[in-house]
Chains A and B, each alone.
Chain A
Amino acid sequence: MARKITYQQAINEALDQEMARDPSVIVMGEDVAGGAGAPGDEDSWGGVLGVTKGLYAKHPGRVLDTPISESGYIGAAVGAACNGMRPVAELMFIDFMGVCFDQIFNQAAKFRYMFGGKAKTPVVIRAMYGAGFRAAAQHSQCLYNIFTHIPGLKVVLPSNPYDAKGLLIQSIRDNDPVIFLEHKALYTMEGDVPEESYIVPFGEAAVVQEGDDVTIVAFGRMVNYAKDAGTSLRKKGVQCEIIDPRTTSPMDFDTILESVERTGRLVIVDESHPRCSMASDVSGFIAQEAFGALKAPIQMVTAPHVPVPFAASLEDLYIPSPARIEEAVMRVKEYR
């Protein structure tokens, strides 16, 4: 039965249910219990923002605090996955990939291919991403495009609580390495989530609003901004089709292609920098596969090519907004 819970609770529930179902699922990371060896509570934090709170008591010995050694414990999660476990390692902020990327992209991602198809590495790396917390340049990036570039990794970007739970359960059961990215501004978002366990399959986009005028492809938190823009535009008589790919690897290009062939107009909304981004990836795909269907140049609504700034006045300018999405939609709608 569905009831309203938050994105954060949905993630916690997915972890809890999978740990109860499968003893090989373990959770590890910095302060995922929060208090190992300290004189007070052994699980005082449950993750830096409390996402894993409560799991420590429910699943004794399977929620492991680690030293602040991202290469060490992310690599250990990868190694444990090679030896029969299904570890869910929390990298805290995705920006920290910079100190452990080798273990992800040279080790985990390559094993299956490099070892002739014999390796199986069912590891999930959870991390929060995205701007809006006034956390500045080293705690606010998106970076999902970098993981998407790497063959061997799967990349998951839930935009709402329902998808967060179903995609995380799929991630844990999946037999390939999965990068599961949680937008920190979505943790408090509420939505209908079934109590029972379910999966959302990878590589299947959600069409979150139907329309025939303009296709909007949006990623992660930007799906919600696109919905805000779509609602406003509908009042102005513009019907947008909003597509949430949900996973960037694998990526459901078919749904995007089918929509653009019908609308002839495409806006892509991506919170990351514009160069070598999901926006440029989708743009390139459509330019190659549906050039003849386009009635207007593709518009990319992205953050600028600058680090994420600290000052609120600048960060608000940095993040794509519903207003900018609306403007982009009107530009492609009114082209010629």
Chain B
Amino acid sequence: MSSSLTREGLLQAYRTMRTIREFEERLHVDFATGEIPGFVHLYAGEEASATGICMHLNRDDYIASTHRGHGHCIAKGVDPVGMMAEIWGKATGTCKGKGGSMHIADLDVGMLGANGIVGGGGPLICGTALASKLRGSNNVGVCFFGDGASNQGTIFEAMNLAAVWKLPVIFVGENNGYAEATASNFSVACENIADRASAFGMPGVIADGFDFFAVHEAAGEAIKRAREGGGPTLLEVKLSRYYGHFEGDQQTYRAPGEVQKLRETKDCLMQFARRVTSRGELTMAELEAIDVEVKTLIDASVVKAKADPLPKPEDLMADVYVSY
């Protein structure tokens, strides 16, 4: 498979994946101290999916995300420093500390929100895509959802509606094998989520979510088709999460050594680095320089988040309505 990416594109892809990984690994450590409030669902291990897809998008394209939304946010261009402050519940957060990990959104960059409701984003992204279509723009909408949400009626309704209205939507089913603690090979009645595409008259495609280049290529075709008026696609990305459903989940439902084996043999960052260096497209020194820069950024974001002010009492009542 030949990459359509330029050198700059490859560097950007690696930087995005590394930023997501570093962000999540750091949250994993910090959450254990008990200082971070609420629920946190980490995207570590799945970086190739958000990155491979969002690299095809521009600012005016929308994405709808999930509980496990940090990676989608970073890949779509939400500022990680604001995100870290949000997760720490600070007034300087992306959502002023009102949303938290499960509701980070930044409409200015086309990020319609992580979503605390499983399957909530499908109908919403049909709406952003409808607006794009009615305006005559070629913008698209991407709905990320998990294998758990793949069984929600909202996702079926949204896929049918997108097909009926021929909307520029890409439904990205990130199948990490577990809906909370229940295996997708139990909860999803057919072999692949992508198999359901035929029921809605749209193409169904499967991509290896450990392989950035496979995701990038599959997404590129689907997004191009959507931009050209060819309607929606269902793209199933098969991948794995390195941590529990939420932080604190002991994952006793998983096989012993399952994650360790994936990290050692299939990790998306490892595979990416091996490929681009073996082909002479990038050097290890370049990648390591990015690693250092990203670590510095994330360290600084944590220092800042810890020091940043909490929302004030008067913020409790602010921003319920535009006017009331």
Contacts and interface: CB of A to CB of B under 8 A. Distances in A.
B130 A114 contact: no
A232 interface: no
Contacts of A61: 134
Given A69-B157, A80-B131, A176-B323, A103 B99 contact: no
Interface in B161-181: 161, 164-165
Contacts, number: 157
Contacts of A85: 127, 130-131, 134
Interface string B285-312: 0000000000000000000000000000
B151 interface: no
A106 interface: yes
Contact of B122 (A75, A80, A81, A120): A75
Interface in B95-109: 95-99, 103, 105-108
B117 A102 contact: yes
Contacts of B115: 107
Interface in A46-94: 61-62, 64, 66-67, 69, 71-85, 87
A82 B127 contact: yes
Contact of A118 (B108, B161, B164, B323): B108
A65 B99 CA distance: 34
Contacts of B135: 84
Nearest to A74: B123
Contacts of B318: 117
Contact of B124 (A62, A78, A116, A174): A78
Nearest to A100: B123
A26 interface: yes
B320 A73 contact: no
Interface string B221-248: 0000000000000000000000000000
Given A112-B320, A116-B95, A79 B123 contact: yes
A203 B105 CA distance: 30
Contact of A79 (B96, B99, B128, B320): B128
Nearest to B159: A72
B112 interface: yes
Interface string B194-231: 00000000000000000000000000000000000000
Given A83-B131, A118-B106, A75 B117 contact: no
A85 B132 CA distance: 9
Nearest to A26: B134
B9 interface: no
B13 to A, nearest CB: 27
A335 interface: no
A218 to B, nearest CB: 23
B123 A71 contact: yes
B89 interface: no
Contacts of B71: none
Contact of B93 (A64, A69, A116): A116
B154 interface: yes
B298 to A, nearest CB: 22
B321 A66 contact: no
Interface of B: 62, 64, 93-99, 103, 105-108, 112-113, 115-117, 120, 122-132, 134-135, 141, 153-154, 157-158, 160-161, 164-165, 318-324
9 contacts: A67-B160, A79-B62, A79-B131, A83-B62, A83-B131, A87-B127, A115-B98, A116-B98, A118-B105
Interface of A: 26, 61-62, 64, 66-67, 69, 71-85, 87, 102-103, 106-107, 110-120, 151-152, 154, 174-176, 203, 250
Given A80-B130, A103-B123, A118-B107, 16 more contacts: A67-B161, A71-B123, A72-B122, A72-B123, A72-B154, A72-B160, A73-B126, A75-B123, A79-B112, A80-B131, A115-B98, A116-B93, A116-B96, A118-B108, A120-B322, A154-B321
